[in-house]
Amino acid sequence: MIISGSTLLGIVIANSFSKRVKELFDIKTFLTVFETSMSDIGMHTEDILQSTRQYMKTGIKQIISNIYSDMQTEYPDLLEKSWEEQIIKNRGKLSLTDQDIDTFISIGKFLGNTGLENQKKHIQHMIGVIDKQMEHAVTQRDKNKKIALNFGVLGGLMITLMLM
């Protein structure tokens, strides 16, 4: 039981490194789809928020859904405000670092509030930032995932041996 529990803990820790990569990838996907929907299809921000949800698989999907719901209320607030509120509210459910969260929040500060060319520039800049953070996240994942898994199994074994 001790070995299983410890291994499970190792798996959970290891998965959080993978989860961060997936969440960052979802944010990047959102930005890419947003750019295409905005410039090529000419969709409104709230329609883009609704349609991009299908491309996501992590907790980012829930945040985007909540922001979309906020925009459907009788008197919707600015996207920027709802964006920040929802990220802060759901922060605990994400594996993103503080730096990732800051990047994610900063997306809401420009989304939809400038002309097309500026939107594209902002999006491309943010994609660049996220790419860098993803590189770091992948390195961290590769480095720490094995350690966490091994540590889980070995830790369990050690505790069991000590108790014996």
Interface with other proteins (CB under 8 A): 38, 42, 44-46, 71, 74-76, 78-79, 111-116, 119
Please state the closest distance from residue 112 (CB atom) to other proteins, in A: 4
Query: How many angstroms separate the CA atoms of 91 and 101, rounded?
Result: 8
Residue 6 neighbours by CB under 8 Å, 6+ apart: 152, 153, 155, 156, 157, 159
Residues in the chain: 164
Which residue lies nearer to other proteins by CB, 119 or 133? 119
Residue 108 vs 152, nearer CB to other proteins: 108
Between 39 and 90, whose beta carbon lies closer to other proteins? Answer: 39
- Rounded to whole angstroms, the Cα distance separating 164 from 160 reads 6
Shortest Å, Cβ 130 to other proteins:
21
Name which of 84 and 158 has its Cβ closer to other proteins: 84
Q: What three-state secondary structure class fits 164?
A: coil
Cβ of residue 71: shortest distance to other proteins, in angstroms? 7
Work out whether the CA dihedral 63, 68, 71, 74 comes out positive or negative. negative
Q: Which residue's CB is nearer to other proteins, number 113 or number 140?
A: 113
The minimum distance between CB 46 and other proteins, in angstroms, equals: 6
User: Smallest gap, in angstroms, from Cβ of residue 32 to other proteins?
Assistant: 16
